Structures are given as C-alpha cells and as structure tokens.
Structure 1
Amino acid sequence: MSDHLLWRYHDHVSAGHPGWKETYRSIGNRFFWTGMRESVRQYVARCHVCACVKPLNRKQDDPMRPRQPRQPWEVVSIDLMGPYPRSQRGKTCLLVATDCYSRWVEAYPLGQATAKTITDTLEREFFSRFGYARVLLSDNGTQFVSKTMEKALEKWGTEGWTTPIYHPRANPVERRNQDLKKGLRTALVDKPHSHWDSCIPNILFSIRNRRNRLTGSTPSERAFGREAKAPGDWLLDIISTGKNPKQIEMTGQKNIVTVKTPDNNNNSGVITENSDVFDRKTKISGGGEQPSQKFGLSSDKKDIGHKLSRENHRRRFKEGDWVYYRAHPLSSADKKFHAGFAPKWLGPVQLAKRLGEGVFVTKGKCQLKLHVTAMKYDASEGNPNKFSILQHVQQPKTGRGAPFHSALSPALGRNRKSHAAAGPQVDAASGGTAGGRI
C-alpha cells in the first residue's frame, strides 16, 4: 500500500516528480504510517527520472592536483580555437600549444581543423624548434583521438593524454586560450574581424613576457633564462651604460635607466628601471615550481583588478554615476563579425534616473534601461583624457533589429558636436585624447 501511495504522489502524471519534502507533505496531508518520512526520502532519492532530469544543486568537490612536469617541453598541452571569420590568408581556426612547465605559448592559424593539418603543423613548427614532447595533452576532440593522431604519437614516441569529457579545467591550455581571446578583443577594437590572424604575433609576445603568479617568472625566463627584449630595450641599455649590449652581458652590470617625467604639478618625478641578466637567471635556476612569496606575490590575489571588482560589488549605484554595461553582440557570417572578438562591455554611459530597486535609465537621446547586475563602475570617472571605446567598434545589427552601436549616443552626447567639427585631439604628454569623454 505504501509503495502505491509513493508512486501516486511522486510518479503520477498529476504529481510531476516533486522533491521529497513536497512529496512528504502531499502524502502526510492524507495518510500516515510509521517511518513514512524516511520511506519518502529514500524513494525520491532512488527515482531514476529525477536523477536524469533534475540539476545538481550542490557543487561537487573538484580538487586540482596537476602533474608537475620536471623540465621545459616535457608536457605540451594543445587545443583548437574557432571557427573564426575566414581571414585574407584563408585561416579559420587557431591551434594553441602550451608548455606546461614554462607556460610558453605557441599559436598557429589554420585553414582547416583536420588531424592531418594539426599533426603536420606540430611536427613542422613546434617540435622542430623545441624538441619532441614526452606527453601531449588534449581534450577529446575528434581530431585529437583520431587514427591519424594515434599514428603520429607512435611515430614521435610521445604519450597521448586526454582530459575527462566536458571538463576543460583539466587542460592547462584553456587558461592561455583566455589570454589569447582577451588579446584578440583588444587588438580588433578598430579593425575588421577578418584580420584576426595578423594580430597573433604581437599577442603572443605580450603573453610570453607576463609574469605568472604561480611560477613567479615569465614564460620567456623559464624557457630561455631571460626575458625577451621589447622594442627599444637595446637602446635603453646603450643609453644607460654607454656600452654595447655584448659588454653589458659579459660584465653582468646592472642597467639603471632614469627617466624624469613631470607630474600634474610640474614637479619632476623619477622612474627607475633595474634589470640584471644574471639575477634573473638565478631566480629560475632551481628545478620545479617557485613559491610565489619569493617574488613578493600574494596568494589572496591582492591586485588592482580584484580590488576594483570588490569595490564594484560593494558600491551602490546612484544617479549621475558613469558605468559600463554588458554587451550582447551576435555573430554575423555575412559581415565577418565574430561575437567573441567584440567588447564584453560598452560605455561609459551616465545614469540619469532610478526607476526602481536596482533599475536605472541612462542619459542621452537613445536611453537605455539597465539593471545593476549588467553594470560595472567606471573606475576612471573624472579623467579628462579618457575616451570611449564604442566609437571604434564595428558592429552588425542585433537580433532586435536595432543598430548595435545605437547605444553610443549616451556616451558621446556631450561632445559629439565639438569633436565632429574638430576631431579628437591627442594630448602629446599623456598619449590619450583631450577634451572630455568622447
């Protein structure tokens, strides 16, 4: 009898498979038996339909225990990005390879994402420069688990590791993919999206010379023992020491470059840059991972980005604030526009009036109704040299039929007439645009 009641108030079409508490309440209003509560709990917990269709409300423990490589180029992680708009050179996707020891990144634009193209590119471009890896780590994409890839791994003498299905966190290259995507969004603000492949070299140079928070050094330092020279670095060495670069390297002399820059009060400031080739080599000479504390890094992520993020969550928006709002672009194959290359936020716009709890309307001819969950505080509010990114973004129309750039008007409303006549004036001292928000 109890089994029939459990089925009637849980599995029946009129019941709709509720949770155990609702099932218990429905039965308890009509019937009772000893141990009814536990019977309902166990019955609902073993329900196959509920197990298949209902979401998991609690997060499973996900301990991250990565295998630590012992030397550069031992474990290489690969992945595919795309498809992207076809470039002028016929490229539609990006093969990304990362050395898990040094975090060195390589990215190769491809015309087609086939296993044959991937294996040929790795052999011709990657392994010929850095040597063949002991392990090649990838996800379970069809190109990476194909017969062609298996034969290539056997030929190279390389082990093939794959991550669990639909678990991208297990693949270290995914973090580098995020850096590449952010770099592409930044580089393509004022360019057609079909030029994405021409931006890859500069983005890679930037990523390879950024200090990693966990290792405490840049990928260039861990891979080659020194940081790659940026444009003008050799000239700074010559100016600061009066010697040619070979003499500086042989003596291990520190290069101290002093640059005097006037501040807003016309007072001279001093910026010094210290670099020592041998000191940098010493920092990374030891094997394995370096503790972040050795390099003055904090494990609680006390950087400016997180401070601004916490400030944005604590801040209560009010009328008159300048904010950025979340963008929702749609890709367009005809116009070669990729939503992943578009800015994630648009603005800044000024909040004009509060309509309700957490809802504002912006100033300007094209007013926007925004909720606080789709806004973030403009940290550069009051900076006269700032400029709006919106005027450079080339966007297609949105799904609602309105031009995607129609929201530019509120941000540009104050200075549209003056700047249309004179054009933006570049401030030589700051490198920004003068005259207010444009």
Structure 2
Amino acid sequence: MCRDVADYVRACILCQQYKPTNQKPGGLMKPIIVSEPWHTVGIDITGPFTKTRRGNHFILVVVDYFTKWVELFPLLSTKAATIAQIFLDELLCRFGFPVRVISDNGVQFLSNVFTQLCDLLGIHHQRTPLYHPQNNSSERINRTLKPILASLAHNDSKGWDLKLSQIAFALSTAPSESTDNSPAFLMFGRRPRQPLDLILPSPPVSDDLPSSNELSAYRK
C-alpha cells in the first residue's frame, strides 16, 4: 500500500511540477550532534505567501533536530514579540525547554526580546552563518513546504493557513529513510493512527507498553 501511494505521488503532475530536489550539494559537512528529542530545535520564518482571509502571510517553522518533528504556525506579523510569544506558549510550554535553538540572522531572532527569553530559560541560541543558512534543519522543511502550499493554492489561495496543522501532521508521520521510523514515533514512542488505519485491518490491541529501554533503542 505504501509503495502504491509513493507511485501515485510520483505520477502526480502538481507534485512533480512543484516538488524541489533535496539532494545535498557537494562539500564538507559538519553534522550537528544531538542525543535526545527536543534537545536542539531549528526555528525559521518563511514567506511571504498570499495573504489569507484571516490576514496570515508568513509561517513560523520549528523542527526538532533529533526526531525531525515539525511545528507550523501561521503569522499575522513577524514582529519579535509575536515570535517569542509563540515560542513560549506553543512550544516551550508543551515540550519543555530545549538545550539549544538554532536560527538564521533574522531581526526577530537577533532582537532583545527573543535573546532575553532564551537567556532567562537557559537555552543556548546558536545562529547559522550568513553564507550557509542550510545548516538550520527548518530550511529543508521550507523547501518541502513551499511546493505543498503552491499546489494547495490551485484550489484556495487564501485558505492555506487552515491546512498547516494537516501538513505538519503529514510531515511528522511520514517514515524517514534514515531511521525507517516517523518523527512522531521517535517523539512519542508510538505511531499515531491515521486515515489509512480506518481502511486497513488493525492488529489486535496489546496491553504491553514499550519500556524506556526499548524507546531508547528505537531513538538510537
């Protein structure tokens, strides 16, 4: 079934028209080492896009470096106070404080309010070099996100902000080629039920929960 879905997507005209290549350019790469979920997160702002009926025209993109879990937030404004408030309320209060946050050199992330928030909560704020912004994992999500939004614009160019939660869910439940597991599984230790599960027969429900050692083994 998964192979059939992949074949269908490869044959989709809109997907092939807008889908970018994610092949990395040649050259020396310095990997960012992380050891657990939500240790290091990347944050970025992408846009502007077509202004929606609700006034949104930017997206705040946040990616966990370990699991590749994705969070997407529509933005009315890219002011530093707005970004800092979302970072605190929607991320830190849900997942806890990361050890490190990586951003580009946008004015929102260089601002006193964002810098002071990180300092207050003991979060190391690392900025990517101006000449190499792709060191931030959210940059790759941006390349994936833009063609998805472009294909959605064919139907409703002013309603894309209502689809961001669904897009983030799709990105976070897709298996990774490098781990054979989805970001959601690595983040929470379970595979979320999806629409396909309503069609295909489900295995019997087990009362056996994975141990902490088993979860650690999966995450490695």
TM-score by length of 2: 0.80
State how 1:51-62 maps to structure 2 within 5 Å.
Answer: 62=27
- For the pair 1:149 / 2:114, whether they are aligned, the reply is yes
- Separation (CA, whole Å) in 1 of partners of 2:122 and 2:70: 22
- The offset of 1:236, in angstroms, is 4.5
- For the pair 1:80 / 2:37, whether they are aligned, the reply is no
Offset from partner CA, 1:165-223 (integer Å, 9 cap, x none): 032221111111122223212323222x1211112121111111111122331101110
- Separation (CA, whole Å) in 2 of partners of 1:229 and 1:61: 38
SS of 1:161 mapped into structure 2: strand
- The structure carrying a bigger strand percent of its residues is 1
- Separation (CA, whole Å) in 1 of partners of 2:218 and 2:123: 23
In structure 1, stretches of 5+ residues that fail to align are: 1-59, 242-246, 253-277, 290-438
- For the pair 1:168 / 2:133, whether they are aligned, the reply is yes
SS of 2:44 mapped into structure 1: strand
- The offset of 1:225, in angstroms, is 1.1
Moved over 3 A (4+): 234-237
- Separation (CA, whole Å) in 1 of partners of 2:36 and 2:79: 30
Q: 1:128 aligns with which of 93, 105, 113?
A: 93
- Separation (CA, whole Å) in 1 of partners of 2:99 and 2:115: 14
- Separation (CA, whole Å) in 1 of partners of 2:119 and 2:108: 16
Higher Cα radius of gyration: 1
- The offset of 1:61, in angstroms, is 7.2
Q: Corresponding residue for 2:83?
A: 118
SS of 1:80 mapped into structure 2: strand
**Percentage identity across aligned positions?**
31
Higher relative contact order (CA 8 A, sep 6+): 2
- The offset of 1:232, in angstroms, is 5.4
- For the pair 1:222 / 2:186, whether they are aligned, the reply is yes
- Separation (CA, whole Å) in 1 of partners of 2:30 and 2:173: 26
Distance 1:288 1:66, change over 3 A: farther
- The structure carrying a bigger helix percent of its residues is 2
Q: Corresponding residue for 1:286?
A: 217
Offset from partner CA, 1:379-422 (integer Å, 9 cap, x none): xxxxxxxxxxxxxxxxxxxxxxxxxxxxxxxxxxxxxxxxxxxx
Contact 1:70–1:287 (Cα < 8 Å) also in 2: no
SS of 1:108 mapped into structure 2: strand
Q: Corresponding residue for 2:173?
A: 209
State how 1:26-425 maps to structure 2 within 5 Å.
Answer: 62-191=27-156, 193-231=157-195, 233=197, 236-237=200-201, 248-250=205-207, 282=214, 285-286=216-217, 289=220
Q: For the aligned residues, what is the CA RMSD?
A: 2.4
